[in-house]
Amino acid sequence: MKKVLKIDTEETVILRHVKKSDIDGIWRNFNNVLEEGTYLPVFTPVKTEIEKNSWYDNIKREHEVCIVAEITNHKPPYDIIGQCEISNLEWEAATHVGSLGIIVSEKYRDMGVGRNLIDIAIRESNKLNNKEKIILSCFSNNERALHLYEKMGFRVVGVRKKQFYMDAVYYDEVVMELFIEEYLRNNP
């Protein structure tokens, strides 16, 4: 699976499955978004080779889907500008459900990279892993992400009030879900 996008900056982005040589680029992107301090309920950057590699080994062991956005005119690790992972849940009775996480680097937001990453990740997780349903969660003040998820057909299941506490402020968590059969019907 490979999709090529021409984005507003006139650069070319390739969307494809993750490979081992992407590990540093992926964690660089993650740590940069973490530093923004706004979107992720995590404080500690991922720096060690053990942490980075064990994340990748786990994806391969669990046969999880991780789609990356690679910009063709940058060299590793600066070439990875987005990633969308659909992880398995811990429950044996929920193997048909995947949990979605996504980040796109700040410079490349609002150009359709996120929508394309999610679209491919949903389709691939259905095709390769028999996922039927995707769940996710999001800070209630993350307006861009909520707009995108709702536009793609995710529905709000509920809100966990004051679920996160960061820099002396409480944040609500919005929980959403999407049924892939319905998504594919609406987006053939």
Ligand X SMILES: CC(C)(COP(=O)(O)OP(=O)(O)OC[C@H]1O[C@@H](n2cnc3c(N)ncnc32)[C@H](O)[C@@H]1OP(=O)(O)O)[C@@H](O)C(=O)NCCC(=O)NCCS
164 binds ligand X (CB under 6 A): no
Strands (E), 80-125: 80-88, 97-104
103 binds ligand X (CB under 6 A): yes
Tell me the site size for ligand X, rule CB under 6 A.
20
Residues 33-72 interacting with ligand X (rule: CB under 6 A): 33, 39
107 binds ligand X (CB under 6 A): no
111 binds ligand X (CB under 6 A): yes
Is 111 or 180 the residue whose CB approaches ligand X more closely? 111
Single residue of 112, 140, 173, 177 touching ligand X by CB under 6 A = 112
151 binds ligand X (CB under 6 A): yes
CB 83 within 8 A of CB 66: yes
CB-side neighbour CA atoms (13 Å) of 30: 22
CB-side neighbour CA atoms (13 Å) of 159: 8
Is 39 or 164 the residue whose CB approaches ligand X more closely? 39
Q: Please report how close the Cβ of residue 112 comes to ligand X at its closest, in angstroms.
A: 5
174 binds ligand X (CB under 6 A): no
DSSP-assigned letter for residue 89: P
Q: Which residue is nearest to ligand X (CB)?
A: 114
Is 96 or 144 the residue whose CB approaches ligand X more closely? 144
Bridging pattern class, strands 80-88 and 97-104: antiparallel
Contacts of 131 by beta carbon, 8 Å cutoff, 6+ apart? 86, 96, 97, 98, 122, 125, 180
CB 156 within 8 A of CB 175: yes
Residues at the contact surface with ligand X, assessed by CB under 6 A: 33, 39, 102-104, 109-115, 138, 142-145, 147-148, 151
